[in-house]
Amino acid sequence: MNDDRPARLRSRVAALSDAQRRVLAERLTSAGVGHAPERLIGFLVPHGAAPSEDALRDFLADRVPEYMIPSRFVALERLPRTAAGKLDRRALAHVEGAALSAEAARAPTAPGTEVERKLAAIWMDVLKLDTVGIDDDFFEIGGDSLLSIRVIARAGREGIRIAPERFFEQPTIAHMASSVDGATVRGSTHDGPRPPRVDPVGDAPLTPIQHWFLDAVPQHRDWWNQSHLLALGHALDAAHLQAIVRELVTHHDALRLRLTGREGHWRQEFVPPDAEPPFRIVDLRSLAPAQYAARIAEECEREHASLRLEDGRLFRCVVFDGDAGWRRILLLGHHVVLDGVSWTIILDDLATLVSQAADGLPLRLPEKTDSARAWAIALAEHAATPSVLASAAHWLALPTDAASVSPGRNGDASVLTLTLGVEQSRSVLQEAPRRLNASAQVVLLAALLIAWREWSGSGTLRLDLEGHGRDALGGRLDVSRTVGWFTTVFPVHLTFPTGMDNGSDPPVGSIVSAVQTAVDALPLRGAAHGLARFLAPDDATREALASQPRPTVLFNHLGTHDLTLPPTARLTVTDEPSGRSRHPDAPRAYAVEINTRVERGALIVAIEHSRHRDDGTSMEQFATAYRAALESIALESPPTFGLAGLDATSLAVVADLLAEADET
C-alpha cells in the first residue's frame, strides 16, 4: 500500500516558519531521525546543445538571489503537462527522481591513481566522510585551514609532499595529484630560491609569539603548559615505551628547546637529545582503582609545576600503570614548544610508534619537514624586508583603546560556554559563509561585533586575533609536520557599519562585509605585525608598535578541534583531567578571551574572563548577546530536509513533532 505521509508531511514542513523549522530540525537530530538536505533542482528544455552548469549559474547570478540558484540542472526533452496544458508538478516530482538517478550516474569522480586513492583516504578520515570525489573542494565539504594542515601532514606520511599554498590554490584531489611526480611533491610555488637546510641543533632568535609570551606573561612563565591524558590499549613494557618517547623527542627538535637569558635579551637553543628521555612510570597497582584518579591528579600537578624554561626538558611523558592492563599516558609540554597543530602531529606519531612497537617493527617516523630552528631564523630574516617594515603603518594608523580593564589572575578566571546545535552550527559555519562569500572566522567575528555593540553600546571593537601562523612565510619552508609554537597574534579594528536610511540596523551581509574588509587589509594575514613589532631591525618601528596598548579582548577560532586518532590506533584521547595548565597566580594576558571550536559538528564558544570584574558589566549578558547574534545568522540560512527514505517509525516521529509545532 502506498504511504502518502511523506508528501503530506513535506507540505506541512513547507508551511512552518523558519524558527519552527529550525526547532524541528534540531529535534529530529536529537531523536535520531536522519534527514538529508533538499537541493534545488533546475529543469530546462534546451534548444540545441545544453549549456554548461557554470554558464547557467553565471546567467542566474545577475537575476535571482543566490539561495535560488539550483545546485543541479536537469535537461529534458519536454516539460510534463497536465490535460489543461499547465505544468504537471506532480509528474515533475517523478522526473526529479529520475534526474537524481542520472546525477548519481555522474557522481563525484572516484580516485583512479594510487596518489588519488591515498589522498581520498586521508580526506575521508580527516573530514569523517564516507566518500569524496577527486573534484570536490576541500573547504566546501567541511574542511578548514587547520584541517588542511592535518591533511598535508598525513599526506607527508604517505610520501606525498604538498606545499600549503598549493593546497589553497585549488583544494581538490585532482589538482594536487596532477602535480605529483611519482608519489611526491617537493618544494613549493613561492617566488625565489628555497632557503638552504639549517642544522636543527643550536641557537636561534626568538619568534614573534615567543616575544609576545615573555611580554604578556611577566611572572610564573615556567608554568604555561598544554597536556593530554591518553588510554593505551596495548601492554607494552617499559623499555618499549621509553624507546617510543626517545624517538619522539629525537625526531621533533622543538621538544628539546630551552629559553635562556634575561629581560630583553632572551635566546632559544635547540639542544641534542639526552641519553635518558623525559619519561617515568607511576605504579598504581598498590591502590584500589577508585583511588587512581586522585593519584593521577596529584602527579599531573607535580609535572606541570616542575617545568623550567632554562632546563631544556619542556616536554614530559608519564605512564600510569594500574591493575589488569589499565594504563594512562600523560603527555605534557610547555606552550613555547608546541601548539594545537603540533598536538595532532605528536599524537599521530605516538600512535604510529606504539603500533610499530606492538607489531615488533623498527621504530620509524616519516621524513622530517623543516626544523623549528630554520623557521625562527627565516622569520628573523623576513622581518628585515621592506614590505614588513612598511606594514607597520597599517597598525599605527588604527585607533587604540582609551582605557583597559584589568585582566586579573589565572586563578580568578571563569569560563562561560555556549554550544550551538549541529544544524545551527552548520548554518553559521558553512551555509552563511557560502552565502555571504566570507570565511567562517569572519562570520563569527561579525556575530561578535553585533553582540559587542548590543552589550557595550559601542560600534567599534579593537581586539587581538590569533592565527595558526604556519603560512607566515608563504610556503618558503615546509612546516606541515614540524612541532613548535607557530601562532600569530595581531590587533584588528572592527567597526559596525552605518544603519539603513530608516534608522534600522544594517543587514548581516553588510556587517560581514565590513569585517571581511578589515581582515583582508591585514598585511601578511596579520603575521606582519609580530615580525615588525618584535623582530624589525628598525628601533623606531619596534618602539612605535610597542607603545600601543594591548587590546583587552582576544579572539581565536580553532576550527575543527576533534583530537582523533586513526581507527587502527592502539591509543585513545580521553577527556579526563590532566592538571592545571597555568599557574593560578600568573597574570592573564586579556580581560576577555573568546575561543571557538567545532567538536562533533557542534560550534562551542568558550568565553574566559575574570570573575572579579570591576567595571559593572555582566559577562553573562554578553554571552547571551553573542548567542543571539549567532542564532540570528543561523536563521538567515534556514534548514531544509527531505523525508524520503524514512521508515514508518521515523515518519511517526516527524508527525508527532509537527503536531507539537502546531501547538507552539
What pLDDT shows up at residue 649? 57
Amino acid at position 343, single letter: W
DSSP tag of 132: -
For residue 388, give the nearest of 264, 534, 268 by alpha carbon.
534
Cell 567538536 belongs to: 599
Q: Which residues contact 605 (CB under 8 A, 6 or more apart)?
A: 417, 418, 419, 420, 594, 595, 596, 623, 626, 627, 630
Distance between CA atoms of residues 78 and 80, nearest Å: 6
Class of domain 202-369: alpha beta
The phi, psi pair for 241, rounded to 5°, reads -65, -40
CA angle, residues 436, 440, 442, in degrees to nearest 5: 75
CA angle, residues 18, 602, 143, in degrees to nearest 5: 100
Q: Which DSSP helix (H) or strand (E) runs through 316? A: strand 315-321
Q: Beta strands of 248-302 (E only): which ranges?
A: 257-262, 265-270, 279-283
Coil/strand/helix, residue 295: helix
List the beta bridge partners of residue 491.
464
Question: What number of CA atoms fall less than 13 Å from residue 189's CA on the CB side?
Answer: 12
Query: How far are the Cα atoms of 9, 148, 164, 174, 334 from residue 145, in angstroms, in the given order?
Result: 39, 5, 10, 19, 24
Cell 574542511 belongs to: 143
398: left (phi over 0), alpha (psi -120 to 50) or beta: beta
Distance between CA atoms of residues 621 and 416, nearest Å: 11
List the beta bridge partners of residue 414.
609
Q: Are 223 and 582 in contact (CB under 8 A)?
A: yes
- Around Cβ 45, how many Cβ atoms within 10 Å? 10
Q: Look at strands 460-467 and 488-495 and give their pairing.
A: antiparallel
Query: How far are the Cα atoms of 192, 448, 598 from residue 601, in angstroms, in the given order?
Result: 41, 20, 6
Q: Which DSSP helix (H) or strand (E) runs through 632? A: helix 619-635
Q: Look at strands 315-321 and 72-75 and give their pairing.
A: unpaired
Distance between CA atoms of residues 634 and 638, nearest Å: 7
Q: pTM of this prediction? A: 0.76
Q: Which DSSP helix (H) or strand (E) runs through 247? A: helix 238-251
Residue numbers of the chain with a pLDDT score lower than 50: 1-2, 34-38, 96-106, 181-193, 616, 638-642, 644-645
What are the DSSP calls for 533-594, one per residue?
III-S-HHHHHHHHTSPPPSEEEEEEEE------TT-SEEE--S----SB-TTSBPS-SEEE
Amino acid at position 446, single letter: A
Distance between CA atoms of residues 635 and 18, nearest Å: 7
Distance between CA atoms of residues 13 and 193, nearest Å: 60
Q: Look at strands 315-321 and 279-283 and give their pairing.
A: parallel
Query: How far are the Cα atoms of 61, 207, 484 from residue 222, in angstroms, in the given order?
Result: 56, 18, 17
Coil/strand/helix, residue 502: coil
Q: Beta strands of 76-127 (E only): which ranges?
A: none
Distance between CA atoms of residues 253 and 273, nearest Å: 9
Let me know how long the chain is. 664
List the beta bridge partners of residue 231.
328, 572
Q: Are 469 and 375 in contact (CB under 8 A)?
A: no
Distance between CA atoms of residues 492 and 525, nearest Å: 11
What pLDDT shows up at residue 80? 78
The phi, psi pair for 230, rounded to 5°, reads -120, 150
In CATH, the number for domain 114-178 is 1.10.1200.10
For residue 253, give the nearest of 270, 269, 268, 277 by alpha carbon.
270
Q: Are 448 and 625 in contact (CB under 8 A)?
A: no
Distance between CA atoms of residues 530 and 532, nearest Å: 5
Tell me the torsion sign for CA atoms 302, 303, 305, 310: positive
For residue 161, give the nearest of 472, 471, 481 by alpha carbon.
481
Amino acid at position 266, single letter: W
Distance between CA atoms of residues 483 and 149, nearest Å: 12
CATH of 373-565+582-635, one of 3.20.20.80, 3.40.50.300, 3.30.565.10, 3.30.559.30: 3.30.559.30
Q: Same CATH topology for 114-178 and 202-369?
A: no
Q: Look at strands 571-573 and 225-232 and give their pairing.
A: antiparallel
Strands across the sheet containing 265-270: 202-204, 265-270, 257-262
For the chain, what are the domain ranges?
114-178, 202-369, 373-565+582-635
Distance between CA atoms of residues 373 and 376, nearest Å: 5
What pLDDT shows up at residue 500? 54
Cell 605534557 belongs to: 332
Distance between CA atoms of residues 363 and 466, nearest Å: 36
- Around Cβ 66, how many Cβ atoms within 10 Å? 12
Distance between CA atoms of residues 297 and 340, nearest Å: 23
For residue 461, give the nearest of 552, 370, 380 by alpha carbon.
552
Burial of 112 (0-12, 13-18, 19+ CB in 10 A): exposed
* Greatest Cα-to-Cα distance within the chain, rounded to the nearest angstrom: 90
Q: Which three cell numbers stand for residue 618?
A: 555582566
